[in-house]
Amino acid sequence: MSIQKTLQNLKCIKKYGNLPTNTHRKVAEVVISYASKTTTNTETPAAVFSTLTSDTVRLVLSDRRIKTRECLSFFNVISENRSLIPFTIEIEHYVTLIHRAINSRKFEDAETLINSLANDGNLRYPFSDVVSLAESQGFDSRILSTLFNLMLKVYSDSGKFFAAFETFNYMRNNGITIDERTCGIYLTALLRCEHLGLGLVFFYKIVESGMDVSIVIDGLCQNGEIRRARQLVEAVCRSVEPNVITFNTLVNACCERKNLKELDLVLLLMEKQGVERNLETYKLIIDGFLSFGNLGGAERMIAEMHDKDFHVGIYLWNSIIHKYCKSGRMESAFQVFDEMLHRGAAPNAHTFHIMVSGICGIEKMEAAKELEKKIVRNEIELDHDIFSDLINGCCKKEKLDDIIDLLSTMEKKIDNLPSTSQVAYLKIAEVIISSATQISTATKTTAAILSTLTPNIVRLVLSNRRIKTGRCLSFFNIISENQSLIPFKIETEHYLTLICRTIKSFKFEDAETLINSLANEGNLRHPFSNVVSFAESQCLDPGILSKMFNLMLKVYTDSGKFVAAYETFSYMRNNAIAIDERTCFIYLIALLRCEHLVSGLVFFYKMVESGIDVSVYSLTVVVDRLCKNGEIKKARELIEAVCKNIEPNVITFNTLVDACCKRWNFKELDLVLLLMEKTGVELNLETHKFLVDGYLSSGKLGDAEKTIMKMHDKDLSVEIYLWNSIIFKYCKLRRMESAFQVFDKMLQRGVVPNAETFRIMVSGICGIGEMEAAKKLANKMQRKEIELGHDVFDDLINGCCKKGMLDDAVGLLSMMEKKGLFGDARLYNMVIVGLCELDRVEEASRLLSIVVKCGATPETSFIQFLANG
């Protein structure tokens, strides 16, 4: 619908009143759509807004077929452009949209609208108007409850306490559900603003309404108003008896916020009111004391719980023991442990774990071992955590014999532990890695740790997924650098285990470094057969397997181990392992660079037969190497053989064309061009240049001309130097007529000759002694504002001298001098000799002085001739 049609409909509505609902909807949709768009046309929006009416707005906001989000956007636009609409936004508009927002669960938007309704124009729409409209509209109870609770919150947030109180009373008197948390917000706002009297009245109202007082108190506490919450309880406790749940709410808030001073006051009020602490109260207080670091207070609470015959869970005792252990106060921990036993509480496995962990933390390993025996006597099974702490403590004290004993015990006692004993080995491995990677002057410790390693431990470290790949690499590098300290030789399995991990972690550079060590250390001490054996036994993921062997192929190539590289390639090919063409390309280039042409050719054919997606670049490098070796025919036949699998491109053929042209092998060149046509590869600019150069170098000037003509016909950019090359060849052969024919063709093709073109032509004309024609061409160059250079002047002067035109030669030398140029000394000497022969000694002397001034050395015979003259 166009803007003009929209305006017409709106004007009709304004003039005649209601139209069919569908028309209202369409008009409203266009208005909403247009109003929400950004436009540079300021007149049209004004025209649209000026035609709106209060009734149109109401119809838009109440139309259920228009989405609530669009209604909100529409209302925001007209609210921001009130000066353009011919009416005042009414309370009905607000309430209609608030109702829709609540119904669509857009509570934030509803609250924003209520805020505008309540605060715009200093409460321009009083609460009574809202009530009247809500009652007349017949809102359901859920909408009413949300609406008035939001109003209560908005009034509270904006400090309109009496309006909020009025809202609360209305809800209470009309049976509308009141949210205790909203009441908490109102009460908090009252107390913050020191309206204690009104706060008390409101609190009494809450109590009378039968609402849960604890939720209100909890709301105050969550807002950080613990002191005011306690004062409120204290103020109303004469008429309202707070229960233990109310006090627990206060206790919990004090403990969470570590407000010990307020906690004491709450407990004192609790005692004053005769409210007994229950189990939950004690738990909250103990947790609070533990978080405060008041361990003595926590102990007293537990003792009090025992005295009152409360059930004291073992976790409370464990919590206190854990705190003492964590702070290193093991003596106090043991005292609590003894008190626990005295009270008849039976320690569990976690209790012993905490104690063992604490003792190991202070590295009292003898005491830890005694406690271990005590655990066994109490028939408590040693779990992973206890073993881990004992092993960790032994590692810190470097008691490697004890580590081995613990490992042995652990394997016997824990039924579900895998045969590799990963948990224990993990702990040992972590300490070994940590010790080995630390910089320390105490080399004996490192040596002692490394001397306890076994091949199995190394394997378990490298294969343990809980140890990061980076740490495994560091560990492996250290044992590799200190092989004299370990009692075994690093095995192929160790390398390959870590290589697989690095590949899986995308650390390809590290994987390549490891493969390089594996392949080249000790003159291939780890042969390829060992690698194959490991790969087949491990059932590796195909992706990892492919990456590993491709990296091996690359490493063998880089290190010149071509036989091993070919063995790798053959294994991958025979076992259907994905081969990377790029890696094969690297191997192929390496073979060709090392003059292994036959091997390279065999490998290339194997690549094609293997079904690898061989790139044209691989084909091109083989062709290039064959051509450089003079095997042009073989290169062409290679292309013919593989062109069904690999599409040769113009670069491939240009390699052949260039080789044919340089070797003047035009018979093979014709076959190459025929093959290009057969495979549908077009000759490009570079191809034509090769052909022109080849024809020129071999004296086939006609073919060179034809090639240039074809280039023009194909709209290829024919550079001027190609024309110049042909003209130069004709001039050199003294075939000036042909040179001028080429020159004319060049002009016909719209090619503008440059200075070099004219220089070549002048030189050619001078070469056949046609000096008048040469001078005319030189004058033409000057008219075209082409500067005559040294070469042109040299050719003209030389020709004039040979023809006996000394005056012209002298004139040309003079012209050169005016241009700031100095001719070749040979030319000056030639002119001087001619002048001397005609007894024009004065002119010859002048030229001789120029030669001397310019630093050239004239011939002695000329000087003697002038002196004698």
The H or E element that residue 289 is part of is helix 279-292
Residue located via tokens 């964590």: 326
* Contact residues for 402 (Cβ-Cβ < 8 A; gap 6+): 365, 369, 394
Q: Check if the beta carbon of residue 127 is closer than 8 Å to that of residue 166.
A: yes
Alpha helices by DSSP H, 209-259 = 213-222, 226-236, 244-256
How far is the C-alpha of 558 from the C-alpha of 22, rounded, in Å?
79
Where are the domains positioned within the chain?
Answer: 824-869
* Contact residues for 475 (Cβ-Cβ < 8 A; gap 6+): 429, 432, 433, 436, 437, 461, 462
How far is the C-alpha of 242 from the C-alpha of 187, rounded, in Å?
17
Q: Check if the beta carbon of residue 491 is closer than 8 Å to that of residue 453.
A: no
How far is the C-alpha of 300 from the C-alpha of 286, rounded, in Å?
9
CA 355 to centroid of chain Cα atoms:
47
Q: Check if the beta carbon of residue 227 is closer than 8 Å to that of residue 263.
A: no
**Reduced to 3 states, what is the DSSP secondary structure of residue 243?**
coil
Burial of 465-500, coded b for 16+ CB within 10 Å and e otherwise, reads: eebebebbbebbbbbeeeeebbeeebebbbbbbbbb
Give the tens place of pLDDT for each residue, 690-748. 888 888 888 888 888 888 888 888 888 888 888 888 888 888 888 888 888 888 888 88
How far is the C-alpha of 725 from the C-alpha of 691, rounded, in Å?
13
> Would you state the structure tokens that stand for residue 577, as one six-digit string?
């392992």
Distances 363 to 140, 393, 395, 433, 846 between C-alpha atoms, Å? 70, 6, 10, 20, 109
Please, what sign has the CA dihedral across residues 561, 567, 570, 576?
A: negative
Angle 542-558/562-574 helices, nearest 10 degrees?
160
Backbone angles phi, psi at 380, to 5 degrees: -100, 130
Which amino acid makes up residue 651? I
* Contact residues for 120 (Cβ-Cβ < 8 A; gap 6+): none
How far is the C-alpha of 762 from the C-alpha of 764, rounded, in Å?
5
Distances 178 to 152, 295, 482 between C-alpha atoms, Å? 10, 43, 76
How far is the C-alpha of 105 from the C-alpha of 98, rounded, in Å?
10
Query: Of all residues in the chain, what percent are helix, strand and coil, respectively (each to 5)?
Result: 75, 0, 25
Distances 299 to 305, 323, 328 between C-alpha atoms, Å? 10, 12, 17
How far is the C-alpha of 329 from the C-alpha of 349, rounded, in Å?
20
> Would you state the structure tokens that stand for residue 671, as one six-digit string?
């076959």
pTM over 0.75: no
* Dihedral, CA of residue 488, residue 493, residue 497 and residue 499, to nearest 10: 100
For the residues of 598-613, what is the DSSP string, one character each?
Answer: HHHHHHHHHHHHTT--
> Would you state the structure tokens that stand for residue 73, as one six-digit string?
């956007």
> Would you state the structure tokens that stand for residue 213, as one six-digit string?
């007082």
Exposure of 376 in the CB half-sphere (CA atoms within 13 A): 10
How far is the C-alpha of 703 from the C-alpha of 693, rounded, in Å?
11
How far is the C-alpha of 622 from the C-alpha of 420, rounded, in Å?
52
Long-range contacts of 850-856 (CB under 8 A, 24+ apart): 850/817, 850/822, 851/825, 854/822, 854/825, 856/825, 856/828
How far is the C-alpha of 240 from the C-alpha of 464, rounded, in Å?
64
Neighbours of 301 (CB within 10 A): 25
DSSP for residue 241: -
How far is the C-alpha of 67 from the C-alpha of 722, rounded, in Å?
73
Q: Check if the beta carbon of residue 812 is closer than 8 Å to that of residue 847.
A: no
Name which of 283, 252, 280, 287 is nearest 266 in CA terms.
252
How far is the C-alpha of 22 from the C-alpha of 46, rounded, in Å?
24
Distances 472 to 458, 530, 633 between C-alpha atoms, Å? 10, 22, 55
> Would you state the structure tokens that stand for residue 67, as one six-digit string?
């989405």
Which burial class, exposed, middle or buried, applies to 415 when counting CB atoms under 10 A from its CB (0-12, 13-18, 19+)? exposed
How far is the C-alpha of 675 from the C-alpha of 623, rounded, in Å?
14
Distances 97 to 7, 20, 92, 101, 349 between C-alpha atoms, Å? 24, 22, 9, 6, 62
Q: What is the length of the chain?
A: 869
Q: Check if the beta carbon of residue 639 is closer than 8 Å to that of residue 601.
A: no
Instruction: Using 50 as the pLDDT threshold, list the residues of the chain that sit under it.
Output: 1-4, 6-7, 10, 13-17, 19-20, 38-43, 122-123, 400, 416-421, 439-444, 523-524
Please, what sign has the CA dihedral across residues 824, 827, 832, 835?
A: negative
How far is the C-alpha of 537 from the C-alpha of 44, rounded, in Å?
79
How far is the C-alpha of 217 from the C-alpha of 335, rounded, in Å?
39
Which burial class, exposed, middle or buried, applies to 353 when counting CB atoms under 10 A from its CB (0-12, 13-18, 19+)? buried
